[in-house]
A and B are shown apart, each in its own frame.
Chain A
Amino acid sequence: MTKVSMTVNGKAVSAEIEPRTLLVQFLRDHLRLTGTHVGCDTSQCGACMVHVDGRAVKSCTTLAVTVDGSHVTTIEGLAKGDKLHPMQEAFREHHGLQCGFCTPGMIMSAVDIVNRKGHNLDEATIRHELEGNICRCTGYHNIVKAIADGAKHMASTPAE
């Protein structure tokens, strides 16, 4: 067993874990943050996406021990109480989801895209930047619209 400590959604957590524990297992099984999903478990689909020190990563391909000391944000960390994050609100407004399985990863990816590329995102940029996310339902069209709109609304809301 190895001790890990990190800040998850603003709260300090530490635990004794097996070194082979994936970050996604740590979040879901140890911290009961089940908003982060496992779609493929092979680094392809992005359902497991979280932010580590402000950058989107696939938590199914990251060992928890390797991000010891980091700040991690999951989908649960975006809303402020009952008030949805502007990107969550945009997905709701534009019907950017059907079954919703990919949605936590899509939203974490979307927020990361805005952090890196700014608030005015054209369709080509969004589609290109979504390369690491797979959705089996929507055909992506409304996801792209939601992200473009969510990006604009994030400009008028304080950053995550």
Chain B
Amino acid sequence: MYAFTHHSATSIADAVKSVGEGKYLAGGHTLVPTMKQRLAMPGNIVDLNKVAELKGVSDNGGVLTVKAMTRHYEVENSPVVQKAIPGLAKLAGGIGDPQVRHRGTMGGSVANNDPAADYPAAVLALNATIVTDRRRIAADDYFKGLFTTALEDSELITAIEFPHADSFSYAKFRNPASLYAMVGVAIAKKGGAVRVAVTGAGSDGVFRWKEAEDKLAANFTAAALDGLAVSPSRVNGDLHGSAEYRAHLIGVMAKRAMGA
């Protein structure tokens, strides 16, 4: 790893003021490996681990707010999350291994937007709002492609707000080596509206599967998805699975998310 300067931020304002051309450090479970490989070489690291105002979970009866530095383990085990959106706690419990969940944070995962990460599917399906130090960004406007988001340089995610849904579930086919999603499908229903988000597969990262949304809005059962398929042309192929294989897996995982 190249040398860098380190500043332990004391507040949101201090973090944003100090970051300059550098990078924020949350759980470090993406950033540290990338820096070791010299794929990222920030000259300055602003550490968020001591910023108390970035930690914690709350719920107002209609919206669940998860602050950026909340670790996957805390989301998994939070009674507040388990009551508000149980499927989200379950999703967090399926990220990586226990040690990754003890360090990794929701803000770090959503900022990083790895095309195989789990949280982006939940954020998109639940129509969440990404709250930053300067504005609020709707999930539909936030994800911009592989490892790319609407965040500006130095923009800090402070929290993610999840509106409650009538139902939310996530089914993941994990890569047994990396533990990331080969394909993950999140399905949220609220009133008559259904949102289906697919991670792990899209050649542009997480995406909404509109055809499945329409079918499920008309008939919210696994059977409604019979015969529906995503075109392999919008799906990634790599050594772990071809585009055709992943495209097929999307249909299978969507049905599993529907309880089939």
CB–CB A58/B49 < 8 A = no
Which of A41, A46, A66, A69 is in CB contact (< 8 Å) with B99? A46
Decide yes or no whether B97 CB sits under 8 A from chain A.
Answer: yes
CB–CB B102/A55 < 8 A = yes
Max count, chain A CB within 10 A of own CB: residue among B45, B50, B103: B103
User: CB-defined interface of A46-73 with B at 8 Å, one 1/0 digit per residue?
Assistant: 1001001001111001110111110000
Q: How far is the CA of A66 from the CA of B49 in the complex (A)?
A: 7
Which of A42, A66, A129 is in CB contact (< 8 Å) with B25? A66
Decide yes or no whether A30 CB sits under 8 A from chain B.
Answer: no
Given A62-B28, A63-B32, decide whether A57 and B4 contact each other with a Cβ distance below 8 A.
Answer: no
For A55, what are the chain B residues with a Cβ–Cβ distance below 8 Å?
73, 102
Number of chain A residues whose Cβ lies closer than 8 Å to a Cβ of chain B: 31
Nearest CB on B from A41, distance (A): 7
Question: On chain B, which size bracket covers the interface?
Answer: 20 to 34
Which of A20, A57, A62, A66 is in CB contact (< 8 Å) with B2? A20
User: CB-defined interface of B40-53 with A at 8 Å, one 1/0 digit per residue?
Assistant: 00000101011000
B residues 96-128 in Cβ contact with A at 8 Å: 96-100, 102-103
Decide yes or no whether A139 CB sits under 8 A from chain B.
Answer: no
* B binding-site residues for A, Cβ under 8 Å: 1-6, 8, 25, 28-29, 32-33, 35-36, 45, 47, 49-50, 73, 96-100, 102-103, 177, 179
* A binding-site residues for B, Cβ under 8 Å: 2, 18-20, 22, 41-44, 46, 49, 52, 55-58, 61-63, 65-69, 109, 112-113, 116, 129, 131-132
